[in-house]
Structure 1
């Protein structure tokens, strides 16, 4: 059965494959699926058990370098999306998939792949959690988001390598990640930078704004008199994704800021001299405290919670 499904997937890929999209991890879906399955296995099983009887690693320098590198990478991705259409020739309405081989189109294909590849780099978020024994931050949502995003984007840039209006959400997401990883970098730098993190509470608002912008932009498709976008399925999936995470964020906003039901702070060891704070979960599966939470020794991840054994 698995062999038949794999053969059908490979046949479908050969039919859809764009000759302009000749980048690593794009040759077939087997490679990326294998990597993501290995990531899930490591995150929820192998990693926690590997660290069960070991002391957590102190990765302050590595985390600062990683987070600031992600700031630069995502800023570059935003710039390339702008220069390959969004700030030059796009109408911001019914922008179709470009099937030409013009320099601008090839630039869009390149940045779309770079955005996709950045999702594999982001898997290091979870690796840091595992090595620092922050199992309670490896939630179901965190693992789902980090594995589902690159999997769906492989199909997205296979179907729509120069995606027109279907690439807007990627540009916005990269812009939000510039802000988020900058926050993470400051947080990882230690207590002397805490005074610069007063804007933490606005992160949820930034995330909500992201999904509002994406949902409004992609919803235009349903109200235009005519828009011959070549792969409507991609439009529908983006709309569903935007609405789903908007609702998730709205629920968090209501619980945290209207009803005042903030998640309680955990009592645990200090990191870099600062006491642990409450974990604020955001809808992309990340946490505002970049791992500054109490760790559970010999913990086991069960749908995002830690079970003592």
Structure 2
């Protein structure tokens, strides 16, 4: 992975080409239902994310409780530990197949928002870019993402299977994503501060890219939350 991280640019380019090409091809075609494949897809990613969240979460909690916050952020053992290294590697690899989420959106002719494909591309690029250097903070970033995805893909699987899920569940997921971005910014600040003291392995360029990424996600997810839940609720009240 360390030697092949630049291939993430190829995956991203192919993904972008598929988005625009796929939407053009589907423009005059009837949508596909794909309910059963979508259930299996979402369920598979949910199970993967749940296992990832449990395994990385247990490791991070152990480091946090026994060695403290600074060690949990700066310690690179997350990348080389007997269990955590597998889930770190699996996390980075998973960002390529996760692009498949968009295939269902395009083939089912659903609305494809900027946040969706921007998030997929930038996470793929940043994850592969950061993993090659095993930068500090990775354990926090991966564990949080595993946790949010465990809930998110479980929700998608239930919806695809036809279950009626409370709107509050969707709101909770988006709020969790917003919280994840805020924590990500805090971790970046801590990494930068402790890096100046020679206690955290990272570099300024990585911290800048990571901070810009998290800040952009924060703005986009907040905008999505307002549009999808707050603004929509106000419109419904006006109609009533």
TM class by shorter-chain length? 0.7 to 0.9
Distance 1:64 1:179 in 2: 14
Residues 184, 214 of structure 2: 8 Å contact kept: yes
- In the alignment, which residue of structure 2 is the partner of 1:231? 202
Residues 208, 246 of structure 1: 8 Å contact kept: yes
Residues 46, 150 of structure 2: 8 Å contact kept: yes
Displacement of 1:186: 1.2
DSSP-derived class of the 2:70 partner: coil
Q: Could you tell me which of 62, 70, 73 is aligned with 1:93? A: 70
Distance 1:120 1:79 in 2: 22
| Per-residue Cα deviation, 1:278-297 (whole angstroms, up to 9, x for no partner) | xxxxxxxxxxxxxxxxxxxx
| Per-residue Cα deviation, 1:163-205 (whole angstroms, up to 9, x for no partner) | 4423312210111111111111111112xx2155552233332
Q: Could you tell me which of 72, 77, 95 is aligned with 2:52? A: 77
Distance 2:78 2:18 in 1: 41
Residues 53, 150 of structure 2: 8 Å contact kept: no
Residues 191, 202 of structure 2: 8 Å contact kept: no
User: Is residue 148 of structure 2 the alignment partner of residue 148 of structure 1?
Assistant: no
Q: Could you tell me which of 194, 212, 220 is aligned with 2:190? A: 220
Distance 2:11 2:126 in 1: 14
Residues 171, 225 of structure 2: 8 Å contact kept: no
DSSP-derived class of the 1:56 partner: coil
Structure having the higher helix fraction is 2
Q: How does 1:1-309 map to 2 (within 5 A)?
A: 27-44=3-20, 46-83=21-58, 85-90=59-64, 91-94=68-71, 95-98=73-76, 105-134=81-110, 137-160=111-134, 163-190=135-162, 193-196=163-166, 198-222=168-192, 226-233=197-204, 234-254=206-226, 260=231
| Per-residue Cα deviation, 1:244-285 (whole angstroms, up to 9, x for no partner) | 322333344456666x356989xxxxxxxxxxxxxxxxxxxx
| Per-residue Cα deviation, 1:127-157 (whole angstroms, up to 9, x for no partner) | 11122122xx223332222122111211111
TM-score under structure 2 normalisation?
A: 0.80
- In the alignment, which residue of structure 2 is the partner of 1:305? none
Displacement of 1:92: 2.6
**Number of corresponding residues:** 230
RMSD: 3.0
Q: Is the radius of gyration larger for structure 1 or structure 2?
A: 1
Distance 2:89 2:218 in 1: 25
Unpaired segments of 5 or more residues in structure 2?
none
Distance 1:132 1:205 in 2: 26
Residues 86, 92 of structure 1: 8 Å contact kept: no
Residues 166, 238 of structure 1: 8 Å contact kept: no
DSSP-derived class of the 1:79 partner: helix
